[in-house]
A and B are shown apart, each in its own frame.
Chain A
């Protein structure tokens, strides 16, 4: 069994677990009062059943085709760079502000795509961040977090 099949089986199992969770969780939804005949539980039950059926079908399909499945080559290091960039951005967006936060993320994403010149990337990210900030706040009236630059901007 190659990696592709293992990932497919893992995905299907994860969706089955999600379906089970929905199935159990739907029972906990408050019914509320009113004249509604169907109530808020019916559709979640239906969706849970749909998830379980389709994920089981996918599980069986992957299992019976495991011999013919082509293998999958995945590079993990770029994924780690991107994940770090995203985490950094989410946790610093309000503290450091939009401009600095997205510039930092930009460096990590660029690195994931094989860029080795992080100083240049930082410059490009900063220019992009500043440009977007001014176009969208002054020009289009959006509010973006200023963070530690709040005195300057």
Chain B
């Protein structure tokens, strides 16, 4: 059956009333956590993992997808009204959208962001519908050596792009890898770095690490900052676009989507790159380039669309290769593992109802988000008025709840707080935390594939460089590793 037929089956699943309800819960939660500073989709999905143990996996993933897309919509609202980008993908929106809001054009900025997110999300989901099965077919030939090479490529690109210097991104990655080693070695059954503690034999759960780094680390960091929060811009009335704003917005939406999806879909990650590219292109193409930096609507429309299309793109390597390229995708991978599902080419064969139900729900969730965000933006903006003491107190209560519920263990809670302190130190010294989360979940997979590949080749390392796909991927990883420092060195000499 072709993609279209499978997608129609997917709609049959996603349109069941209880799945519609989970999608709605997801987009509501997603929008809320996207707006609230200090929480994001990665943390939210991590906190909900223990709660969804008993849920049907299809419903759980439909909710997670709603949170994932909803977080993007909510994040742009906060960037525009408060000028605090929640994630690197909305830096540009904060730059240009906040300027618009300050000059009294908040409703136009919110509208172009919301509609642009809808257009890009829908175009991205359409592209996902057709690209994912095709890529999954190609990935069927991947053996352990190819998977290992692919993970190494992901490691090097994700880490060297994030962070002030490549060494910091890589340091974060290795910290995550080290946390991933703790526990019983799957191949030999030997305990590694468990310090004789029973709860560590099963390894450290990625939820413990993600919640510690994101919730506790962030709370500690914000509490210790001397500067206060910025001022929030009030919005009143309906969010809508005038005819002129619409005619200035629609091309940037489409161009942004076309940039965002392919770059976001690469196994190298990097949702912020298309937003920067889109901003540069819109500035060049605009009749009024002088407006850029002062609140040009094209500078919100294009990057927002790019950001959302990239979010759809990230799902391609996640679903077809099992390769997460963002922190949220890493947590979603943990969610798949919780339900004993392994994303990759076979999931399209073995669990079509899950994959296609999920993809169909992305179309539905996008429509729900447009309807929820366009007229109700002023209402959502009120969430920004929750006082900081209550907001962060609440975040830590939920962090404790989610972590405890993993294994009903106080040990996990204590470990999560401790990892939060590590996260705080990393924030202080500009070491990004996302590579640690990705390394923690992919590290054990990399090791397993590496050992499997060498078992197949009977110990001959040539398996990695004599097979064309794996050799190419490793070569690209090497180029990524050396090109960023070389480029910066070259830049500093000129």
Q: List chain A positions with a Cβ less than 8 A from chain B.
A: 7-8, 11, 15, 18, 22, 25, 29-40, 43-44, 47, 50-51, 54-55, 57-58, 61, 72-76, 78-79, 81-83, 85-86, 89-90, 93-94, 98, 102, 105-107, 109-115, 121, 124-125, 128-129, 132, 136, 140-145
Contacts and interface: CB of A to CB of B under 8 A. Distances in A.
A70 to B, nearest CB: 11
Contact of A36 (B178, B187, B193, B425): B187
Contacts of A32: 185, 188-190
A36 B272 CA distance: 41
Interface in B48-102: 50-51, 54
A125 B396 CA distance: 11
B192 A40 contact: yes
Contacts of B394: 106, 128
A78 B223 contact: yes
Given A44-B181, A142-B50, A125 B397 contact: yes
Contact of A113 (B173, B189, B223, B410): B223
Nearest to B54: A141
Given A38-B451, A144-B404, 9 more contacts: A11-B431, A50-B170, A54-B171, A61-B165, A76-B224, A79-B220, A90-B417, A113-B392, A128-B397
Contacts of B454: 37-38
B309 interface: no
> Nearest 8 pairs between A and B by C-beta?
A110-B389, A32-B188, A115-B389, A78-B223, A54-B171, A57-B167, A40-B185, A50-B174
Contacts of B408: 143
B405 A136 contact: yes
B200 interface: no
B397 A106 contact: yes
A51 B175 contact: yes
A90 B410 CA distance: 7
B197 interface: no
Interface residues of B, number: 64
Interface string B368-396: 00000000000000000001111011101
Given A58-B167, A75-B225, A144-B404, A105 B396 contact: yes
A30 B194 CA distance: 12
Given A72-B428, A125-B397, A37 B177 contact: no
A78 B224 contact: yes
Contacts of B50: 142
A110 B390 contact: yes
B400 A102 contact: yes
Contacts, number: 193
A47 B177 contact: yes
B405 A142 contact: yes
Given A90-B414, A128-B397, A47 B167 contact: no
Contact of B174 (A7, A51, A90, A125): A51
B389 A132 contact: no
Given A30-B191, A40-B187, A44-B181, A109 B171 contact: no
B482 to A, nearest CB: 13
B455 interface: yes
A43 B177 CA distance: 9
B190 A136 contact: no
A134 to B, nearest CB: 12
Contacts of A22: 178, 193
A110 to B, nearest CB: 3
A57 B187 CA distance: 33
Nearest to B223: A78
Nearest to A143: B408
B226 interface: yes
Contact of A73 (B190, B226, B405, B458): B226
B429 interface: yes
Contacts of A44: 178, 181, 192-193
Nearest to B167: A57
Contact of A79 (B170, B178, B223, B387): B223
B42 to A, nearest CB: 21
Contacts of A85: 396
B401 interface: yes
The CB with the most chain A CB atoms within 10 A, among B190, B225, B405, B425, is that of B190
A26 to B, nearest CB: 8
A121 B225 contact: no
B168 interface: yes
Nearest to B390: A124
23 contacts: A8-B429, A11-B425, A15-B175, A40-B187, A47-B178, A47-B443, A58-B168, A58-B429, A61-B165, A72-B428, A82-B220, A89-B413, A90-B410, A105-B400, A106-B393, A106-B394, A112-B392, A128-B393, A128-B394, A132-B398, A136-B51, A141-B54, A144-B404
A135 to B, nearest CB: 10
Contacts of A11: 425-426, 428-429, 431
B219 A43 contact: no
A53 to B, nearest CB: 8
Nearest to B170: A54
